[in-house]
Chains A and B, each alone.
Chain A
Amino acid sequence: MKDTSLYNVLYIDLTEGKYEVQERRDLFEKYIGGAGVAIKLLEEECPKGADPLSPDNPIVFAVGPFTALYPLASKTVAMFKSPLTGNLGESHAGGRSAVAIRLAGYGAIVIKGASEKPVYISIVNDQVKIRDATTLWGMRSSYAVGRVLREVEPGAGRRTIMRIGIAGENLVRYASVVVESYRHFGRLGLGAVFGSKKLKAMVVVGTRSVEIEDLKGYMEVYEEIYREVTGTEVMSKYHVLGTAENVLPLNALGALPTRNLQQTRFEQAENISGEILAEKFLAKKIACTHCPIGCIHLAALRIAFAPGHEYETLIIPYDYEPIYALGSMLGIGSPEALLRLIEKVDGLGLDAMSTGVAMAWATEAYRRGLIGDEETMGLRPNWGEDVEVYIRMAERIARRANEFYSTLADGVEAAASKYGGLDFALTCGGNEMPGYHTGPAALVGFLVGARHSHLDNAGYSLDQKVLRSPISDEEMVDRLIEEERLRNVLTSLVVCLFSRGAYKVERVIKALEPLGVHTTKEELLKIGAEIQRAKMEFKAREGYNPYKLRIAKRFFETPTPHGKLSEDRVRRMIELYVEKAGFKDLFKP
């Protein structure tokens, strides 16, 4: 590649207060960028058995060769050891993060060590400063932190501002990092790792340029991709209603987890559907940098806070996953209540999905008498009856208000291990479940996926595709493996997974050409498989074992569109997965 700035890795050591840049051409040439380079850097920097909340745990941010160059190459990959699962932590976010990092002159940023006092990092191209954040620590809302940094840091209007809320400060193991107010590194506890380093925020301003090897070829491919994503149906779903479009189809299918997965149809689904939210609350749609789609749906919620027409208006981002986790999963069927809860959870810097599943477990545990008023500090959760209860519960989790909430802040698995109710503690590999009870592919996919996310291998999509023309379990497993390998290529480039329709492998090869990278389909898929293998090696090293997974009974009790799943079948599919993916040497039955 003509532009070698991608190879620059910025290493920041918070213990020493120092930084340096190393050229890591070796990693980027072999593993593309993004997820591929991040897993290698994590492997290098994270000692075996490191406490995820100790200075030993590094944070890696990586972008890729498409970042700043092609439309929808808008995501940054974060990797770290997860304080929630104890193995691989991987989370992706958009906003302005990716383009800012690349145009600041880096392909990756590694943050090591820990500060004694609260700090934030300010990166303006090659200037890196570690600044005092004492005054920002303990601030009630992550939104306010963004407002302060907006005033004191340069690069207004085009920079990224990543920050944690009080959940991250208090080391809640599923705390998020909020990006540009409305995007998140949500899953697996990056916010807690920030908090453990006393790192409140990171601002990145990039004003450099990326040179292009073959301009003519580049412009041709660029326009082809642009035309496809804006002029055809390939991405319309994400633009029109956004991911919230999924609510009604999944509900109709009987796959929308409801009331802690006691049901898969929610009688009030209509009220919290993408259609109703768009009709009544959608204020505007905005985009991540370099994405012409604009899938970020912002709702405006007007609330009367006192008599006499005293109103405040909250601007709240919504997506399918928060709607599922903080809506149907808690039995919340009022859109106003749901939006208020999303706003609260984001402001606290909690992952919406894990928090929703945690509060759903707590509700069921409370209804069954496993926990009482002493544990909940007087809150009496009852499936969406009163959203105030959930708003206060989220706050108490974020503050680790008592022993119970502090345990819940360690995850559903930790809470159920202590208070009982493991049968309905809905985690997969220690990570709270995503919003799809679609069938065997989804469940197996969550359990074996490297980050235990629906986005790893899209089993939820496969389940729906094969509903009318069933395939064998063996073929299902093959397709999960194939999909995850392919996605590892996309998340190494790094493009948004929503644009996967426009970034088929052939297109990826064509788009790499003008950048001076010549490759083949076989080569790319081989790299995808190697990245997958590297992730699994890291997971195995840190104690993950697919043969020994706890799978909550609830997953088998509640029917999916494919009928009730049996534990035997799911475990057989996991075994098949380990064999077919070539991971048998990594795990002992």
Chain B
Amino acid sequence: MPYRLAVVDIEKCIGCYNCMFACSRLRFKEASLAKSAIQVRSAGGIERGFVVVVCRACIDPPCAKSCPTGALQPRPGGGVVFDESKCQSCRNCVEACIIRAIVWDEERNKPITCLHCGYCAKFCPHEVITLEPIGRELVV
């Protein structure tokens, strides 16, 4: 069964950014807040809480549809798979995602897409994010 990363309770977020560091560590072998598929930021003053943006794993992803070269292909169950060799760095995908879940890697000049691997969720101290089987929310 495919899994996806999901934000389950944003109100519990303390803004520690441990998830972002986890993503950059695993995917890019670096410590960074710029290279991470999950994005946390304060909602305009930390007293107003935090915004966590992750790929929603769309079944029919607009980002893939916007890709002129087929570098982004729908992933079975939702989300996308990225083939860097086909990418022409047009940034259409960034614009196509209405929640802006695609981060642009300025160094490589390529998009960063979420693999839904769930590594970041292991470093969330308050279960704000979780890896869930796709479709589970419909079972409830």
B30 touches A157 (CB 8 A): no
A292 touches B31 (CB 8 A): no
* In the complex, residue of chain A having the shortest beta-carbon distance to the beta carbon of B21: A290
Chain A 238-282: CB-based contact to B (< 8 A → 1; otherwise 0) = 000000000000000000000000000000000000000000000
CB-CB under 8 A from B58, the residues of chain A are none
CB-CB under 8 A from A146, the residues of chain B are 45
A212 touches B31 (CB 8 A): yes
A298 touches B34 (CB 8 A): no
Least CB distance, A221 to chain B, in whole angstroms: 12
With A286-B15, A292-B123 as known contacts, state yes or no: A209 contacts B47, CB within 8 Å: no
19 contacts across the A-B interface (CB closer than 8 A): A71-B18, A103-B32, A150-B44, A150-B45, A157-B40, A157-B43, A158-B41, A181-B47, A206-B33, A209-B28, A209-B34, A212-B25, A284-B14, A285-B14, A289-B17, A290-B17, A290-B18, A291-B16, A293-B125
Ranked 4 nearest A-B pairs via Cβ: A157-B41, A209-B32, A294-B14, A287-B16
A158 touches B17 (CB 8 A): yes
A51 to B31, CA, bound (A): 40
Q: From B17, B34, B44, B51, name the one whose CB has the most chain A CB atoms within 10 angstroms.
A: B17
**B 45-90 contacts with A by CB, 8 A:** 45-47, 49, 51
Number of interface residues of B (CB under 8 A): 31
Least CB distance, B138 to chain A, in whole angstroms: 31
* In the complex, residue of chain B having the shortest beta-carbon distance to the beta carbon of A155: B41
Instruction: Choose from A69, A182, A291, A294 the contact partner of B31 (Cβ within 8 Å).
Output: A69
Instruction: Choose from A211, A212, A291, A298 the contact partner of B47 (Cβ within 8 Å).
Output: A298
14 new A-B contacts, CB < 8 A, other than A157-B51, A208-B34, A209-B107, are A99-B17, A182-B46, A182-B47, A207-B33, A209-B28, A209-B31, A209-B32, A226-B123, A286-B14, A286-B15, A290-B18, A292-B16, A292-B18, A293-B125
A301 to B107, CA, bound (A): 45
A147 touches B30 (CB 8 A): no
B33 touches A158 (CB 8 A): yes
Is B136's beta carbon under 8 Å from chain A?
A: no
A287 to B17, CA, bound (A): 9
* In the complex, residue of chain B having the shortest beta-carbon distance to the beta carbon of A67: B31
Least CB distance, B82 to chain A, in whole angstroms: 19
Is B42's beta carbon under 8 Å from chain A?
A: yes
CB-CB under 8 A from B113, the residues of chain A are none
**A 177-215 contacts with B by CB, 8 A:** 180-182, 206-212, 215
Q: From B29, B35, B40, B47, name the one whose CB has the most chain A CB atoms within 10 angstroms.
A: B47
With A212-B29, A285-B14, A289-B17 as known contacts, state yes or no: A207 contacts B34, CB within 8 Å: yes
Least CB distance, A255 to chain B, in whole angstroms: 31
CB-CB under 8 A from B34, the residues of chain A are 103, 207-209
Least CB distance, A103 to chain B, in whole angstroms: 6
CB-CB under 8 A from A215, the residues of chain B are 25, 29
Instruction: Choose from A99, A157, A218 the contact partner of B42 (Cβ within 8 Å).
Output: A157
Least CB distance, A100 to chain B, in whole angstroms: 9
Is A315's beta carbon under 8 Å from chain B?
A: yes
Least CB distance, A293 to chain B, in whole angstroms: 7
Is A234's beta carbon under 8 Å from chain B?
A: no
CB-CB under 8 A from B51, the residues of chain A are 157
* In the complex, residue of chain A having the shortest beta-carbon distance to the beta carbon of B20: A158
B16 touches A294 (CB 8 A): yes
Is A68's beta carbon under 8 Å from chain B?
A: yes
**A 48-84 contacts with B by CB, 8 A:** 68-69, 71
* In the complex, residue of chain A having the shortest beta-carbon distance to the beta carbon of B16: A287
B47 touches A99 (CB 8 A): no
Is A370's beta carbon under 8 Å from chain B?
A: no
Chain B 86-100: CB-based contact to A (< 8 A → 1; otherwise 0) = 000000000000000
Is B130's beta carbon under 8 Å from chain A?
A: no
Least CB distance, A276 to chain B, in whole angstroms: 21
* In the complex, residue of chain A having the shortest beta-carbon distance to the beta carbon of B12: A284
With A157-B51, A181-B46, A219-B25 as known contacts, state yes or no: A68 contacts B16, CB within 8 Å: no
A156 to B43, CA, bound (A): 9
Is A402's beta carbon under 8 Å from chain B?
A: no
A210 touches B41 (CB 8 A): no
Is A230's beta carbon under 8 Å from chain B?
A: yes
A230 touches B125 (CB 8 A): yes
A293 to B123, CA, bound (A): 11
B33 touches A210 (CB 8 A): no
Instruction: Choose from A209, A222, A286, A291 the contact partner of B30 (Cβ within 8 Å).
Output: A209
A210 to B25, CA, bound (A): 10
Least CB distance, A589 to chain B, in whole angstroms: 49
A218 to B17, CA, bound (A): 18
